[in-house]
């Protein structure tokens, strides 16, 4: 066995430990009794520490150095790409003390239960002390990792490598005024009636229909699973074991159906990574922005299109006869209603990025101390009113709605908006390569789009950075202009602007 093979074998063993942490986290969020939280936190903390210590051990560094000396320098090869990614991961991991990793993992495991109870009671004060501790760890983590301009850079870079706080600000500033203008014009137009999707829908039938749709799109249930959780998510233990969760409501079709499509978009990315990369550091999405581009593409560009529903609506009416009186046009407009709503995961395409911009700005201020935790609800509500024109009536609909902070995911939110922008750039590239894709979608045929995504994005895993991948596909970098054009065209049509 050469040094590269020895390194890969060691990395697969470390990956097994890290995936065991993910399995415990999945169980915690889907079926663990609340009383199990303290023990689960200790279990996850121990495994995270062991995995971190093995990865940052001198033996890993020595194998990495030796493997780099024996592998030919072909940038796109699996071996060179592996070493490039592992070198970056190793450099970051060795800056984080094992005790810090264990403390972080244990606190976030406990914080989830605190957050869930506080959210259910709409009581921010009950979560505030835990958030204080999480922010302290986030700040320490940023200092360990290091940064050039802003401590937020260190946290953002873990989810979107190469992206900076300054660049995110520029991207957001470039399209925020257009979004607010579009929303104002829509508000002044005759409003859409969405009562068709706000009837009573049996949860079991919602699930059955949703599973039919995502399997048709390409989610492989032989290598995937769907369950229920408070906050929908996707997790991967291997390319052959990818799981999603859904939140159902029996009086609203929207969150469950489109949430399931959204998470399936993530899952198809993970399932589409080349099999020979399974268990290695390359066997995941290259960045969360690219990951989000896949979920938002399937959820919105495909799932909320006229073409998709010309195929899907007859099937939906069979599942729910109460929709038999709803016309194709009325249904299409209902699922694309623009509304100044409070919940990010239920936000329409036009308002969604404003929800993210708000979180980005608040996270920066929390991290630097410009905003005190105790003042978070007030600051959230004030900024929400500025951007969206409404004020959340309580904390559950305001600053407590997201699971991310309790999971320690500070710096994660910008990737959602970046994913929206990339979704249009990638879809446009796919249609340029295969102009028949929209017509195929209208026939319930998704293979060409899925295969194009697999060949150009999924199979590579982490071999290329988001910037490299985007340049390979589009010839340029991330750009808000195509997304803005897409929104303008779509909602001019829906609202007759």
How does residue 326 score in pLDDT terms, banded at 50, 70 and 90? very high
Please report, for the domain that includes residue 350, its CATH number.
1.10.1370.30
Whether 216 is in a domain gets the answer no
Two structure tokens written together for 30: 């889907």
Give domain status of residue 128, yes or no.
no
Q: Are residues 85 and 8 in the same domain?
A: yes
Per-position DSSP letters for 68-136, written without gaps between them: HHHS---TTSHHHHHHHHHHHHHHHHTTS-HHHHHHHHHHHHHHHHHHHHHHHHT-HHHHHHHHHHHHH
Q: What integer pLDDT is reported at residue 233 of this predicted model?
A: 92
Please check whether residues 289 and 432 belong to one and the same domain.
Answer: yes
Between CA 224 and CA 460 the distance in angstroms is: 20
Model confidence at 1, pLDDT cuts 50, 70, 90, reads: low
Q: How many helices (H) and strands (E) does the chain have?
A: 20, 3
Query: 409 with 319, same domain?
Result: yes
> Which of the listed residues 60, 86, 121 is the one where a domain comes to its end?
121
Residue 230 lies in a domain: no
Task: Express as a percent the part of the chain with pLDDT over 70.
Answer: 100
Domain end among 121, 144, 179: 121
455 in the same domain as 334: yes
Question: Would you say residue 29 has pLDDT above 80?
Answer: yes
pLDDT digits (tens, 9 = 90+) for 176-227: 999 999 999 999 999 999 998 888 999 999 999 999 999 999 999 999 999 9
Of 377 and 255, the one with more pLDDT: 377
User: CA angle at residue 72 from 70 to 74, to 5 degrees?
Assistant: 150
pLDDT tens digits, one per residue of 451-475: 999 999 999 999 999 999 999 999 9
Looking at the structure, tell me whether residues 71 and 191 fall in a common domain. no
212 found inside a domain: no
Give burial (CB, 10 Å; 0-12/13-18/19+) of 376.
Answer: buried
Check residue 231 and give its pLDDT: 78
Where in the sequence numbering do the catalytic residues fall? Answer: 263
Q: Which structural domain, as residue segments, surrounds residue 41?
A: 3-121
Q: Name the band, by pLDDT with cuts 50, 70 and 90, for residue 372.
A: very high
d(CA 365, CA 274): 40
Residue 391 token pair? 């004020």
For residue 409, give the H/E element and its range: none
Q: Which two tokens stand for residue 262?
A: 């959204």
Query: For the chain, how many structural domains are there in total?
Result: 2
Q: Is residue 208 part of a domain?
A: no
| 30 backbone dihedrals φ, ψ, rounded to 5° | -120, -30
Mean pLDDT score of the chain: 95
> Token match 């006869």: residue?
321
Token code pair at residue 75: 């940038």
In degrees, rounded to 5, the angle at the alpha carbon of residue 331 between the alpha carbons of residues 328 and 334 is 150
Instruction: Tell which of 121, 148, 182 closes a domain.
Output: 121
Token digits of residue 49: 């520490």
Average pLDDT over residues 79-100: 94
Residues 6 or more apart in contact with residue 199 via CB below 8 angstroms? 251, 253, 320, 322, 323
In three-state secondary structure terms, 152 is helix
In a domain, 402, yes or no: yes
C-alpha torsion angle, residues 425, 429, 434, 438 (rounded to 10): 10
- Determine, yes or no, domain membership for 256: no
- Side by side, the strands of the sheet bearing 224-228 are 224-228, 241-246, 234-238
Cβ proximity of 328 and 313 under 8 Å: yes
- Residue range 245-267: mean pLDDT, rounded: 91
Total-model pTM = 0.93
Alpha-carbon gap, residue 291 to 373, rounded angstroms:
30
Residues 105 and 178 in one domain: no
- Would you call 143 helix, strand, or coil by DSSP? helix
> Cβ(162)–Cβ(465) under 8 Å?
yes
Residues 7 and 106 in one domain: yes
Residues 191 and 291 in one domain: yes
Helix (H, G, I), strand (E, B) or coil at 201: coil
Residue 494 CB neighbours (<10 A): 21
Question: Which of 270, 269, 244 lies closest to 259, judged by CA?
Answer: 244
Is residue 295, in this structure, part of any structural domain at all?
yes
310 and 450, same domain (yes or no): yes
* Same domain flag for 97 and 29: yes
What does the pLDDT look like over 100-148, one tens digit per residue? 999 999 999 899 999 999 999 999 999 999 999 999 999 999 999 999 9
pLDDT bracket for residue 437 (50, 70, 90): very high
Q: Express as a percent the part of the chain with pLDDT over 90.
A: 92
In this structure, the answer to whether residues 172 and 45 fall within a common structural domain is: no
Q: What is the pLDDT of residues 151-184, one digit of tens each?
A: 999 999 999 999 999 999 999 999 999 999 999 9
CB 280 within 8 A of CB 412: no
426 and 335 co-located in one domain: yes
pLDDT band at 253, cuts 50/70/90? confident
Q: What does the block give as tokens for 221?
A: 């249930």
């Amino acid at each position: 066995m050469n040094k590269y093979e020895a390194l890969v074998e060691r990395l697969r063993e470390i990956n097994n430990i890290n995936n065991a942490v993910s399995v415990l986290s999945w169980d915690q969020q889907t079926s663990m009794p609340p009383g199990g939280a303290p023990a689960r936190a200790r279990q996850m903390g121990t495994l995270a520490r062991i995995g971190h210590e093995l990865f940052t051990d001198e033996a890993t560094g020595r194998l990495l150095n030796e493997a780099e000396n024996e592998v030919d320098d072909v940038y796109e090869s699996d071996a060179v790409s592996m070493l490039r990614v592992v070198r970056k991961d190793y450099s970051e991991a060795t800056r984080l003390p094992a005790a810090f990793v264990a403390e972080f993992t244990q606190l976030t495991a406990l914080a989830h239960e605190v957050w869930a109870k506080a959210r259910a009671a709409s009581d921010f004060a009950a979560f505030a002390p835990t958030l204080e501790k999480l922010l302290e760890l986030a700040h320490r983590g940023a200092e360990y990792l290091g940064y050039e301009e802003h401590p937020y850079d260190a946290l953002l870079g873990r989810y979107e490598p190469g992206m900076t706080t300054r660049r995110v600000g520029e991207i957001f500033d470039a399209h925020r005024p257009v979004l607010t203008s579009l929303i104002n014009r829509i508000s002044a137009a005759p409003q859409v009636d969405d009562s068709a999707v706000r009837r009573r829908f049996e949860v079991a039938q919602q699930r059955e229909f949703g599973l039919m749709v995502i399997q048709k799109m390409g989610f492989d249930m032989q290598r995937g699973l769907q369950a229920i959780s408070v906050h929908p998510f996707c997790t991967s233990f291997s390319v052959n074991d990818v799981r999603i969760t859904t939140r159902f409501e029996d009086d609203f079709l929207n969150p469950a159906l489109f949430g399931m499509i959204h998470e399936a978009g993530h899952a198809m990315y993970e399932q589409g990574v080349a099999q020979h990369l399974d268990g290695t550091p390359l066997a995941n999405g290259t960045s969360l922005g690219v990951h989000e581009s896949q979920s938002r593409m399937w959820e919105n560009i495909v799932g909320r299109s006229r073409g998709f529903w010309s195929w899907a609506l007859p099937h939906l009416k069979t599942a729910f006869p109460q929709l038999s009186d709803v016309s194709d046009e009325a249904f299409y407009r209902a699922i694309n209603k623009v509304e100044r709503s409070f919940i990010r995961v239920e936000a329409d395409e036009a308002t969604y990025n404003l929800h993210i911009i708000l979180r980005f700005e608040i996270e920066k201020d929390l991290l630097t101390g410009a905003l005190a935790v105790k003042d978070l609800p007030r600051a959230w509500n004030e900024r929400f009113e500025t951007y969206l024109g409404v004020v959340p009536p309580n904390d559950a609909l305001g600053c407590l709605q997201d699971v991310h902070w309790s999971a320690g995911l500070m710096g994660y939110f910008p990737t959602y908006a970046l994913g929206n922008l990339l979704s249009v750039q990638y879809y446009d590239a796919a249609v340029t390569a295969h102009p028949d894709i929209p017509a195929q979608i209208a026939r319930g045929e998704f293979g060409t789009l899925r295969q194009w995504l697999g060949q150009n994005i999924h199979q590579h895993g982490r071999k290329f950075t988001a910037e490299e991948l985007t340049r390979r596909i589009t010839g340029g970098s991330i750009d808000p202009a195509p997304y803005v054009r897409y929104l303008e065209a779509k909602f001019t049509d829906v609202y007759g602007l």
